[in-house]
Structure 1
Amino acid sequence: MRLDPVVQQSTPMMIAARVREAIAQGDFAPGAQLFEAELARQLGVSRGPLREGLQRLTQEGLLVSIRNRGLFVVHLTADDVRDMYLARGAIERGAAAVVVARDPVGTADALEPVLEQMAQAAEAGDSRGVADADIRFHEVLVARSGSARLARVHATQVTEARICIQALGSTHSTDEVRLAEHRRIADALRAGDADLVDSLLARHMADAVADLVELSETSPLPETSPLPETSPESASRH
Structure 2
Amino acid sequence: MAASQRIERVTLPTQIADRLRADILAGTYEGGRQLLETDLALAFGVSRGPLREAMQRLVQEGLLRSEPHRGVFVTEVGEDDLRDLFFVRAALETTAIRKIFESGDRAGTAGELKHIARQMDDAMKSDDRIAGGDLDFEFHKTLVDGAGSKRLSRSYASVQTETRLCLHRLMGGYRSSRDLAVEHFRLAELIRTAELEEVLAELGRHFGDPAEVMKRVRKQEQGR
Q: How far apart, CA to CA, are the structure 1 residues paired with 2:131 and 2:32?
A: 23
List gaps (5 residues or longer) in structure 2.
220-224
Aligned to 1:86: 87
C-alpha spacing 1:28/1:178, structure 2 compared with 1 (3 Å): farther
Q: Shift of the alpha carbon at 1:9? A: 6.2
Residue 188 (1) aligns with residue 190 (2): yes
- Cα RMSD after superposing both structures: 3.4
Q: Shift of the alpha carbon at 1:98? A: 1.4
Residue 137 (1) aligns with residue 139 (2): yes
Aligned to 2:118: 116
Residue 74 (1) aligns with residue 75 (2): yes
Normalising by structure 1, we get a TM-score of 0.73
SS in 2 for 1:82: helix
Q: How far apart, CA to CA, are the structure 2 residues paired with 1:199 and 1:84?
A: 19
C-alpha spacing 1:116/1:217, structure 2 compared with 1 (3 Å): closer
The letter for the 2-side match of 1:88 is R
Q: How far apart, CA to CA, are the structure 2 residues paired with 1:215 and 1:59?
A: 32
C-alpha spacing 1:177/1:72, structure 2 compared with 1 (3 Å): farther
Aligned to 1:31: 31
Aligned to 2:212: 210
Q: Shift of the alpha carbon at 1:49? A: 1.7
C-alpha spacing 1:3/1:153, structure 2 compared with 1 (3 Å): farther
Q: Shift of the alpha carbon at 1:188? A: 0.8
Q: How far apart, CA to CA, are the structure 2 residues paired with 1:128 and 1:30?
A: 22
The letter for the 1-side match of 2:88 is A
Q: How far apart, CA to CA, are the structure 2 residues paired with 1:45 and 1:164?
A: 29
Q: Shift of the alpha carbon at 1:77? A: 0.9
Normalising by structure 2, we get a TM-score of 0.77
List gaps (5 residues or longer) in structure 1.
219-238
Between the two structures, name the one with larger relative contact order (CA 8 Å, sep ≥ 6): 1
The percentage of aligned residue pairs carrying the same residue is 36
